[in-house]
Amino acid sequence: MKIIILSILLFVSKFAFAENYLLNGGQESQIRYQLVQRVMPAYGTSKLMLSYIVPVSFASPTYNQKIENLNFNFSPRPTSREERFDDRGNKIIEVSWEGVTSGITATIYLVAKNSVKLSPLKTSAAFPLKNIPEDVLVYLNSTEQAPSNNSQIKDMARELTSSANKEFDAVQRILSWIIDHMRYVLEPPSYDAMYSFATQRGNCQNYSHLAASLMRAVGIPVRIVNGVTLNRPYDIKIGSSILTMKMAQGRHSWIEVFFTDLGWVPFDPQGSELFVSNRFIRGEIGIDNNETNKDGLVRWTTLRGEGRPEIEESIEGVFDVDNIKILGNKTNYGPREMLLSPVVNSDFSKIPVTELPPIIPKISDKELKKLKLSVPFLFGNLEFPENVNFLEKYGPAKKGKQGIMEMHKKFLVETAEYVTTQGQQYAQTFILKKPLFLKKAGIALHAFNNDGQIWLELYKDKDGKPDEQIATSDFVTLSEIKYNPGYKWVDFDFSSDNHTVLSPGRYWIALGFTGGPILNWFFTYGKPVGPQDGTKYKLVFDDTWSRSLSYEFNYRVVGLTSK
């Protein structure tokens, strides 16, 4: 029985750390975008009604979208088709079919010429705001999902912005607080700001509603934007390293903030200010997501039966042009969690970070040998939606106005990376504060075939990167993984050939494979457990693990520790 004993001392810097990155450069792309929706009416449906928002061109100081060749196609031809504008200026197409019994296909096609300019941005807008245009005032309203008049929201907003005298200063303080205090979850039980304020959890809708509530509470107009993100990654060069950004492909919610000298400027409260990437396709705007619910709305009336239609939705984005050049510099101020921003020329506070990395105790080899490791231990990025079918894009059926049944789109997206592509290897860090007898490690996977074998490799850490390989798990044959509609834990045994005893410290697990497996590894937006540089990959010709990912893979380590 082989015992591997490691002793690693992690030194704690006497300085605070931040994850604020200032960007320079830009993106320019031409995207052929297509959304296909297939609807099979339920038995007894007398009338089926679908509605869609018409995407429009949009210009801001950073993000610009130009829509061309827009086409809506419906098969079979609808009984009626109407076009109208709502109170926020969104153009809505409503189509309906009478007595339909067969399937319906709706196809929305367009070409989006999207660009992002990340040159230094200047704003001198004062805070509190003055002379807000009349047509913008509606975006100060308090709503059920974004209750800016709530006393807790108002108190927090005033506390965060008490010494700000420029609008950007107030906005970046609020956004930094949200980034540091919120954790992304895919399916929260509620999407309103108060749920997030109380639990510090939520999805993109929660982030948007909380940001809107806090900013509106101190007189900053904010509107909610709904659209789609595309999963094409892009790189940011930071010194000798590369940070790869990636969103899921699906529906997304973000915000636009009104500046008196800049106009409406997009923000993604999950991690970017004053811009969104050109992987965003902008659609509907409104006061909150209860109002921005027209796009993809499905309604129906029935003569008999209580069934609901079956709906499948697919999104595709083909990049005919994709020019990216973005450089990033890390600052010594700002939030603990990652925030991306262009350089801003304005008076603002450089938010100090007071929280230090955890102290990792040193245990000598001699002391480690004497420890009795008998207490069950489980650690990792454990939360993900197991066995969820991501093809289901709609919420439950409910009765709307005049007794008409309706279903609304869901912001359920598949955040996963294809990790068995040839020429790349992926690694996830974990940090132990206690010694561990490692028995197994698991990762959240979905297998698309049963060809080949996979395993995990365990590495020591050196300077924040995988270094010496110290153990390999047993192999898992793909045919052993039972098919399921979503993702599940796949555990890898580290205890059959040797017992691995790990001292407190930082380690890495990396996925290895042979044959032709097709696997996706689920990830969570942000870094809910580990450090910002804790998810890496390397290409076949890379000498070091110098490429980082902006998210954290879902993983777990299991074993025994001391009391």
C-alpha 18, offset from chain centre:
20
pLDDT band at 5; cut points 50, 70, 90: very low
* Residues listed for the chain: 563
Q: What is the pLDDT of residue 370?
A: 81
In a domain, 351, yes or no: no
Q: Is 92 found in the same domain as 186?
A: no
Q: Is 340 found in the same domain as 378?
A: no
Residue 70 has pLDDT above 60, yes or no: yes
Q: Is 161 found in the same domain as 80?
A: no
In a domain, 239, yes or no: yes
Residue 61's CATH number: 2.60.40
Distance CA 290, CA 92 (A): 16
Residue 17 has pLDDT above 80, yes or no: no
Q: Is 325 found in the same domain as 308?
A: no
Q: Is 543 found in the same domain as 517?
A: yes
Average the pLDDT over 257-272 and give the result.
97
Q: What is the pLDDT of residue 355?
A: 60
Q: What is the pLDDT of residues 107-134, one digit of tens each?
A: 999 999 999 999 999 999 999 999 999 9
In a domain, 350, yes or no: no
Number of Cβ within 10 Å of residue 7's Cβ equals 16
Q: What is the pLDDT of residues 317-329, one digit of tens each?
A: 999 999 999 999 9
Q: Is 507 found in the same domain as 415?
A: yes
Distance CA 529, CA 178 (A): 17
Residue 247 has pLDDT above 50, yes or no: yes
Amino acid at 324: I
Residue 225's CATH number: 3.10.620.30
Residue 8 has pLDDT above 60, yes or no: no
In a domain, 197, yes or no: yes
What's the number of domains the chain is made of?
Answer: 3
Q: What is the pLDDT of residue 467?
A: 95
Average the pLDDT over 200-216 and give the result.
97
Q: Is 302 found in the same domain as 339?
A: no
Q: What is the pLDDT of residues 394-417, one digit of tens each?
A: 888 888 888 899 999 889 899 999
- SS3 sequence of 365-431: HHHHHHCCCCEEEEEECCCCCECCCCCCCECCCEECHHHCEEECECCCCCCEEECCCCCEEEEEEEE
Residue 6 has pLDDT above 50, yes or no: no
Mean of the per-residue pLDDT values of the chain: 92
In a domain, 22, yes or no: no
Q: Is 545 found in the same domain as 423?
A: yes
Number of Cβ within 10 Å of residue 217's Cβ equals 26
In a domain, 7, yes or no: yes
In a domain, 439, yes or no: yes
Q: What is the pLDDT of residue 431?
A: 95
Distance CA 130, CA 141 (A): 16
Backbone φ and ψ of 431, nearest 5° = -120, 125
pLDDT band at 2; cut points 50, 70, 90: very low
Distance CA 307, CA 40 (A): 11
Average the pLDDT over 264-268 and give the result.
98
Q: What is the pLDDT of residue 30?
A: 98
* Helices marked H in 13-162: 151-161
- Among 281-285, 337-341, 359-363, the minimum mean pLDDT is found in 359-363
C-alpha 299, offset from chain centre:
29
pLDDT band at 265; cut points 50, 70, 90: very high
Token code pair at residue 304:
């008999």
Q: Is 488 found in the same domain as 449?
A: yes
Torsion of CA 84, 86, 88, 91, to 10 degrees: -30
Q: Is 534 found in the same domain as 483?
A: yes
Parallel, antiparallel, or unpaired for β 555-561 and 375-380?
antiparallel
Q: Is 105 found in the same domain as 195?
A: no
Distance CA 319, CA 302 (A): 42
Number of Cβ within 10 Å of residue 496's Cβ equals 10
**pTM (2 d.p.):** 0.93
Q: What is the pLDDT of residues 454-500, one digit of tens each?
A: 999 999 999 999 999 999 999 999 988 887 789 999 999 998 766 68
Please give the sequence-ordered ranges of beta strands (E in DSSP) within 61-197, or none if there are none: 63-75, 80-85, 91-98, 104-117, 121-122, 183-184
pLDDT band at 563; cut points 50, 70, 90: confident
Number of Cβ within 10 Å of residue 242's Cβ equals 16
Q: Is 387 found in the same domain as 311?
A: no
Q: What is the pLDDT of residues 347-396, one digit of tens each?
A: 999 988 766 666 777 787 778 888 888 999 999 999 998 988 887 778 88
Q: What is the pLDDT of residue 358?
A: 66
Distances (CA, A) of 395 to 76, 182, 411: 25, 24, 9
In a domain, 537, yes or no: yes
Residue 547 has pLDDT above 50, yes or no: yes
| Domain encompassing residue 105 | 27-115+297-318
